[in-house]
Amino acid sequence: KNIRKYLLTEAREKNRPEFLQGWQTAVTKCIPQQKNDSDCGVFVLQYCKCLALEQPFQFSQEDMPRVRKRIYKELCECRLMD
């Protein structure tokens, strides 16, 4: 729900109406759950990284400060870290 809200907000702010409709929501209870409205992008990036590297979703809301720092470092160094 939070990720969908984030994506729709981004689409509106960037004037991209093609991204406002057609979304399907699938809820899987056995994955890390976001517990606030401010970590949407961090969760999306962490899910994507896990999927791309074929790793399990082994993170939680409590890990977000550490994940944010790691993402910053990865962006600065132009490479993914383990």
Q: Which two tokens stand for residue 79?
A: 């490479």
Note the pTM of the prediction, 2 decimals.
0.68
Q: What DSSP state is assigned to residue 1?
A: -
Number of separate helices (H) and strands (E) present in the chain: 3, 0
CA distance 76 to 57: 24
pLDDT, tens only, 15-60: 998 888 888 877 777 899 999 989 989 999 999 999 899 999 999 9
**Cβ-based neighbour number of residue 36 at 10 Å:** 10
CA distance 9 to 67: 23
